[in-house]
Amino acid sequence: MTNILILGGTTEARQLAGKLAARADLAVTLSLAGRTESPIAQGVPLRVGGFGGAQGLAAYLKETGTALLIDATHPYAARISANAAEAAGQAGVPILALRRPSWEPVAGDRWTLVDSVAEAATALGTAPRRVFLAIGRQEAGAFEAAPQHHYLIRSVDPVEPKLAVPDAIYLLARGPFPEADERALLESHGIEAIVSKNSGGEATYGKIAAARALGIDVIMVRRPSVPDVPSADAVDQLAAKVDHLFEPVAERGV
Ligand SMILES: NC(=O)c1ccc[n+]([C@@H]2O[C@H](COP(=O)([O-])OP(=O)(O)OC[C@H]3O[C@@H](n4cnc5c(N)ncnc54)[C@H](OP(=O)(O)O)[C@@H]3O)[C@@H](O)[C@H]2O)c1
């Protein structure tokens, strides 16, 4: 058996794990950080929690005889991506990354590009606005620096503690979020600006398309830089690279 470790936390990681696990000669383990309280079933063996930095990950790769590391984490999970590249080098294990292409602005988009969530809070301006925060819960606290705005905050798990701002509504939801639903949400809350990460992919693009249709400003947080390792844009391409490295012997019986 060939052991493969997939660093996940994304839909694509789950899809890739399922696809590779169909091969009888691959033993696939999916790794999650453990941020989400009730992650959806992943369908392959899981391990949960940090490794203890690049060194911890390198040790794990050696101990488990992992033959390939796949970084399929979220584009904004920069630390684990950096650790993955470093650990693969330390352990002498090949690495592949699934790098979801960024969204590109098109005619009608009203994007302001910023380098961080903190900068996004400033970019909203001083006058009070009705703002939709769609950046997840981990960095929502940065908007306490701009308490004059009304916030609609959507996340998979509750934002705890709640923000120290006078006017915020919390919405718990897990994507995908179709454009029509996003449009209805933006209209019903009278949203004037959206703060978004450039996640790429279809699942969360609905709000961007809806903002364009409604003429709403988007404060777009630029992606952090991640190491330049061999990569693919999509699940099928990455699976083909794995087939190239480890020629398939057989599919698992059904
Ligand atoms: N950031 C986002 O916007 C976002 C959005 C959706 C999903 N996610 C997913 O949520 C997870 C955490 O994101 P983050 O922004 O906190 O990442 P991060 O800042 O890059 O990682 C922080 C630490 O969390 C641990 N970690 C992260 N991903 C892991 C994984 N897949 N398996 C085991 N340990 C992991 C590592 O701890 P050690 O150093 O101890 O190994 C890492 O150093 C990622 O798996 C990512 O794919 C993130």
* pLDDT tens digit sequence for 211-247: 999 999 999 999 999 999 999 999 999 999 999 999 9
What pLDDT was estimated at residue 253?
64
* Contacts for 154 with CB less than 8 Å, ≥ 6 apart: 132, 133, 134, 170, 171, 172, 173
Burial 97-125 (b: 16+ CB within 10 A, else e): bbbbeebeeeeebebeebeebbebbebbe
146 Cα: distance to centroid of ligand 1 (angstroms)? 27
pTM of the model: 0.94
Alpha-carbon distance of 41 to 158, in angstroms, equals 20
Cα 227 to Cα 21, 78, 96, 224: the distances in Å are 26, 9, 11, 10
What pLDDT was estimated at residue 36?
81
Of the pLDDT bands very low, low, confident and very high (cuts 50, 70, 90), residue 40 is: confident
- Closest CA to ligand 1's atom 39: 53
What pLDDT was estimated at residue 38?
74
- Closest ligand 1 atom to Cα of 51: 41
Q: What average pLDDT does this structure show over 116-131?
A: 98
5 Cα: distance to centroid of ligand 1 (angstroms)? 15
Q: What average pLDDT does this structure show over 60-74?
A: 98
**Which of 14, 80, 117, 159 is the best mutation target for the ligand 1 pocket, counting ligand atoms within 8 Å of the beta carbon and taking the most?**
80
80 Cα: distance to centroid of ligand 1 (angstroms)? 6
Helix, strand, or coil (residue 105): coil
Residue type at position 153: I
